[in-house]
């Protein structure tokens, strides 16, 4: 057994039945089938293994955790003698797709074609299992990565409980859906950039019409503990962008499909998932299922159901049908999430539960509050002027 660094509150464990010699990319070490326990991040006789979970906050102690067991149980393995990536075709790709699916990832259908869906599944594997930095995930499968994939991995959830719950790891840009403690799905995601933004958006109204509006906000996906609460089928035009099959968990923030799910955070606060996964994801979760968002700084329970950042009207908005791509200065408000009456505020992209759905693509947009409801904003202050890029919203 090889110990690895783990957050003091992190309970994720990974059980690996090794196929033989250690895989350098994972830095696993063998102990001849024996089990050992260590209180150190590494020992003189073992290299540090990849840590699955959240990073260790500075200045905190390392918890003692059983992390990896190894045993000499060989697997049938067809060697990969060349790298494969986007554009590759053939039996090697088909075997890769089957293996990713067996581990809980979704590379799309086994069609022997290495396309974007397979690439995003490989990104998720690299980030979650190999600890690749967000920008370092290559989507290319080498012989070392292929050998590592053919070990048997069993990931233990950071939070336990019956039924389904989703764990969103912001620092890995990966989300994991567990059902009764077992993995149902691991997916690559893209969440809030943390940037200030302004956009001209087209918003679906409760009466079935649409309205154009100028909105500014801060693209933050807050850490915390939430619940899936409502959903729409098909495309939804919101203040945060254009959302496909959104399942909402924090006011206007949803897990939803998007055509653009890059390696780095890119959303206005929502959790983007690949389109082929968004086709069936709503059927995997029920309203009331728990969503844990780990920000890598504090445990979700510290924040509770943290209110998202409020949007606000763009003071420079002019009612036009086109947008610009110029930079300008803006002074967004700052708010405090604690002790806010959620019934008297307008939150970024909050949809009314009775709002209708849309079934066909529409211009980039975001969700509105009930237009007949009177709302007020908490007291705000105006920080120093910062640079904000004005552009159309292309996804929450």
Residues 6+ apart with CB under 8 A from 44: none
Per-residue pLDDT band for 61 (boundaries 50, 70, 90) equals very low
Instruction: Determine the Cα–Cα distance for residues 291 and 239; give it in Å rounded to an integer.
Output: 22
Identify the CATH assignment for 77-156 out of 3.40.50.300, 3.40.190.10, 2.40.50.100, 1.10.101.10.
1.10.101.10
**Cα 94 versus chain centre, distance:** 26
Kind and range of the H or E run holding 304: none
Instruction: Determine the Cα–Cα distance for residues 95 and 253; give it in Å rounded to an integer.
Output: 36
Instruction: Determine the Cα–Cα distance for residues 319 and 297; give it in Å rounded to an integer.
Output: 41
Instruction: Determine the Cα–Cα distance for residues 301 and 57; give it in Å rounded to an integer.
Output: 16
Residue 212's φ and ψ, nearest 5 degrees, are: -90, 140
Instruction: Provide, rounded to the nearest whole percent, the portion of the chain with pLDDT above 70.
Output: 62
Kindly give the interhelix angle for 91-103 and 116-128, rounded to the nearest 10 degrees. Answer: 50
Q: Which of 126-130, 150-154, 308-312, 358-362 has the highest mean pLDDT?
A: 126-130
Instruction: Determine the Cα–Cα distance for residues 147 and 18; give it in Å rounded to an integer.
Output: 10
Tens digit of each residue's pLDDT (9 = 90 or more) over 65-124? 322 222 333 457 899 989 999 999 999 999 999 999 999 999 999 999 999 999 999 999
pLDDT at position 396? 84
Task: Report domain extents, the chain.
Answer: 1-74, 77-156, 196-390
Q: What is the mean pLDDT of residues 140-152?
A: 93
Burial (CB < 10 A; 0-12, 13-18, 19+), residue 165, is buried
- Whether the per-residue pLDDT at 164 is higher than 90: the answer is yes
Query: What are the DSSP E strand ranges found in the chain?
Result: 14-17, 152-155, 164-169, 174-179, 182-188, 196-204, 210-218, 224-227, 230-231, 235-238, 241-250, 253-258, 271-274, 290-294, 312-313, 327-330, 365-367, 386-390
**Would you report the helix, strand and coil content of the chain in percent, each value rounded to 5?**
10, 25, 60
Helix segments in 292-359, DSSP class H = 300-303
């Amino acid at each position: 057994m090889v110990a690895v660094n783990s957050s003091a509150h992190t309970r994720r464990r990974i059980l690996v039945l090794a196929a033989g010699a250690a895989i350098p990319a994972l830095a696993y070490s063998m102990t001849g089938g024996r089990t050992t326990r260590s209180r150190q991040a590494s020992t003189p006789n073992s290299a540090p293994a990849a840590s699955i979970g959240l990073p260790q906050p500075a200045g905190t102690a390392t918890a003692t955790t059983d992390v990896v067991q190894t045993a000499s149980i060989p697997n049938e393995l067809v060697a990969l003698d060349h790298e494969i990536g986007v554009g590759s075709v053939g039996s090697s790709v088909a075997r890769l797709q089957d293996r990713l699916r067996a581990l809980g990832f979704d590379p799309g259908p086994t069609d022997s074609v290495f396309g974007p869906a397979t690439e995003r599944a490989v990104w998720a594997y690299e980030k979650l299992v190999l600890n690749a930095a967000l920008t370092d995930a290559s989507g290319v499968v080498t012989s070392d990565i292929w050998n590592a994939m053919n070990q048997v991995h069993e990931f233990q959830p950071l939070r336990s409980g019956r039924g389904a719950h989703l764990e969103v790891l912001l620092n890995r840009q990966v989300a994991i859906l567990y059902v009764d403690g077992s993995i149902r799905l691991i997916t690559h995601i893209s969440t809030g950039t943390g940037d200030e933004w302004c956009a001209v958006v087209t918003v679906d109204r409760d009466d079935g019409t649409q309205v154009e509006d100028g909105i500014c906000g801060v693209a933050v996906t807050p850490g915390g503990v939430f619940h899936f609460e409502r959903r729409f089928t098909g495309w939804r035009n919101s203040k945060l962008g254009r959302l496909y099959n959104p399942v909402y968990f924090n006011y206007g923030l949803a897990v939803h499909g998007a055509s653009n799910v890059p390696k780095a955070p890119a959303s206005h606060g929502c959790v983007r998932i690949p389109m082929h996964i968004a086709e069936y994801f709503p059927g995997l979760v029920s309203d009331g299922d728990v969503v844990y968002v780990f920000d890598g700084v504090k445990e979700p329970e510290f924040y509770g159901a943290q209110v998202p950042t409020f949007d606000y009207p763009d003071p420079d908005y002019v009612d036009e049908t086109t947008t610009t791509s110029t930079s300008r200065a803006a002074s967004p408000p700052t708010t405090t999430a604690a002790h806010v009456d959620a019934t008297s505020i307008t939150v970024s992209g909050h949809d009314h539960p009775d709002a209708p759905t849309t079934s066909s693509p529409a211009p980039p947009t975001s969700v509105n509050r009930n237009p007949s409801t009177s709302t007020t904003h908490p007291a705000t202050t105006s920080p120093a002027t910062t640079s904000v890029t004005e552009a159309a919203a292309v996804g929450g």
